[in-house]
């Protein structure tokens, strides 16, 4: 169990400052609803129902990007998920914010403005430096406790994430608690049977780091996506190359070739590569080709093929634990969702401990009508999930643990 305090340790009816991660897609200036709102709503609703005066902090985008917008829309979206009104103040730690905080009664909820609109928020600095910022020093005296629920941002040493545990009693929210426990399970739990990891996505370095860190804890790695194609290239299959207009493969190959070849040699009995690949034919339909029949890459491969799905599903069905990091294909296009969805369906139907994460991969569960209840945990974290798998530092978790 993590050595941090949770909401179970927090006395009711106090004024609490709560850090969420509501960072969302923005289309034409409109913030899009997503599962982060629903997940964090559990923590916010519990605090409001326990008569806390609840003040929320969150970030959205980065300065200079189209996604860098106010949190005013987030307040309305969150209110729908929480089932309570969520007030909003376009200020973070100035006079308007302090006034709104002081006016808040037990059971009420207030969302402050985008933390990244504060100059002191973003620079990556040591937590002790962040604790001395005006941002932290101005807000902390207004509260009885600090709650960090933003596990997906826990790898960032930003003021709102790491500064307040030095000034206030600090606790983990429900998302922080459940994400930490599930995502560290591969390192901390003992499994009697086979442990399988499905690894794909677009970044070879993520796959390499996970395999390097977990090679002695995982029995079978099932590869797909762009990363899987690069491993096929290392196995002398003529794929994993950029076609005209592509910039997905060649640069990553040059940067990671030696490591990929070493991993294939080191873990040759544990690494399983695609048997066939899917592509778009001349009629715009899905077609497949056996890996052994590929003579040159003359088209984009967008998914693993049906034989691969069957083989990977068999590995899953014989596993005690399955962890997913990254998609096996372009699942956003239903023609090329067979790999990702097929393996997820096999996991859902198998009585195993399962964690699904890695940025957008978990979206496939909702997109294709699967139930989150069929998985032990569906992570909303991206970078923090990778760091948890590879044992890297999660500074936002460390400061919660150090305060207890």
Q: What is the pLDDT of residue 184?
A: 85
d(CA 134, CA 130): 9
∠ CA 37-40-46, rounded to 5°: 130
Q: Are 5 and 399 in contact (CB under 8 A)?
A: no
d(CA 69, CA 343): 37
Q: What is the pLDDT of residue 383?
A: 80
- When pLDDT is averaged across residues 68-84 and rounded to a whole number, the result is 98
Residue 115: pLDDT above 90? Answer: yes
d(CA 342, CA 98): 51
Q: Are 256 and 227 in contact (CB under 8 A)?
A: no
Residue 404: pLDDT above 60? Answer: no
Q: What is the pLDDT of residue 388?
A: 85
Rg (CA), the chain: 23
Give the model's confidence band at 135: pLDDT under 50 very low, under 70 low, under 90 confident, else very high.
very high
- When pLDDT is averaged across residues 298-326 and rounded to a whole number, the result is 97
Q: What is the pLDDT of residue 403?
A: 67
- When pLDDT is averaged across residues 319-326 and rounded to a whole number, the result is 95
Q: Which residues pair with 100 in a beta bridge?
A: none
H or E stretch including 146? strand 145-148
Give the model's confidence band at 1: pLDDT under 50 very low, under 70 low, under 90 confident, else very high.
very low
d(CA 56, CA 5): 19
Q: Which residues pair with 198 in a beta bridge?
A: 222, 324
pTM of the predicted protein model: 0.87
Q: What is the pLDDT of residue 358?
A: 60
Q: What is the pLDDT of residue 126?
A: 96
Residues 6+ apart with CB under 8 A from 179: 151, 152, 377, 379, 380, 381, 384
Strand order in the sheet with 276-280: 286-290, 276-280, 303-304
Q: What is the mean pLDDT of the chain?
A: 94
What's the first-to-final CA gap in the chain, in angstroms? 13
- When pLDDT is averaged across residues 291-299 and rounded to a whole number, the result is 96
Residue 35: pLDDT above 80? Answer: yes
Q: What is the pLDDT of residue 361?
A: 81
Residue 163: pLDDT above 50? Answer: yes
């Amino acid at each position: 169990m993590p050595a941090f305090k949770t909401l179970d340790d927090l006395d009711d009816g106090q004024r609490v400052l709560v850090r969420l991660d509501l960072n969302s897609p923005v289309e034409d200036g409109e913030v899009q609803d997503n599962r982060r709102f629903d997940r964090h709503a559990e923590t916010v609703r519990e605090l409001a129902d326990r008569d806390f005066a609840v003040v929320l902090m969150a970030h959205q985008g980065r300065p200079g990007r189209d996604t860098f917008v106010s949190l005013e829309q987030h307040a309305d979206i969150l209110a729908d998920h929480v089932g309570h009104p969520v007030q909003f103040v376009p200020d973070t730690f100035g006079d308007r914010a302090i006034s709104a905080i002081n006016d808040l009664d037990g059971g009420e909820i207030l969302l402050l403005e985008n933390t990244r609109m504060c100059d002191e928020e973003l620079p990556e600095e040591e937590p002790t430096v962040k604790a001395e910022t005006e941002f932290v020093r101005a807000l902390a005296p207004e509260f009885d406790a600090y709650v960090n629920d933003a596990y997906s941002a826990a790898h960032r040493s930003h003021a709102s994430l790491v500064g307040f545990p030095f000034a206030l009693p600090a606790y983990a929210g429900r998302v922080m608690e459940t994400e930490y426990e599930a995502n560290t399970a591969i390192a901390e739990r003992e499994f009697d049977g086979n442990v399988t990891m499905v690894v794909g996505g677009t970044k070879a370095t993520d796959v390499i780091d996970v395999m390097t860190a977990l090679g002695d804890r995982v029995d079978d790695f099932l590869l797909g996506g762009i990363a899987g194609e690069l491993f096929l290239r290392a196995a002398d299959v003529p794929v994993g190359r950029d076609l005209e207009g592509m910039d997905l493969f060649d640069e990553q190959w040059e940067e990671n070739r030696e490591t990929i070849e070493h991993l294939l040699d080191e873990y040759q009995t544990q690494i399983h590569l695609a048997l066939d690949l899917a592509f778009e034919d001349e009629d715009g339909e899905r077609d497949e080709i056996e890996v052994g029949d590929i003579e040159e890459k003359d088209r984009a491969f967008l998914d693993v093929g049906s034989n691969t799905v069957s083989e990977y599903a068999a590995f899953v069905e014989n596993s005690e634990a399955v962890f997913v990091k990254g998609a096996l294909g372009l699942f956003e296009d239903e023609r090329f969702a067979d790999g990702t969805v097929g393996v997820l369906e096999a996991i859902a139907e198998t009585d195993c401990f399962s964690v699904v994460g890695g940025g957008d991969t978990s979206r496939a569960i909702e997109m294709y009508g699967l139930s989150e209840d069929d998985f032990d945990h569906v992570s909303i974290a991206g970078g923090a999930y990778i760091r948890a798998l590879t044992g890297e530092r999660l500074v936002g978790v460390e400061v919660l643990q150090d305060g207890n």
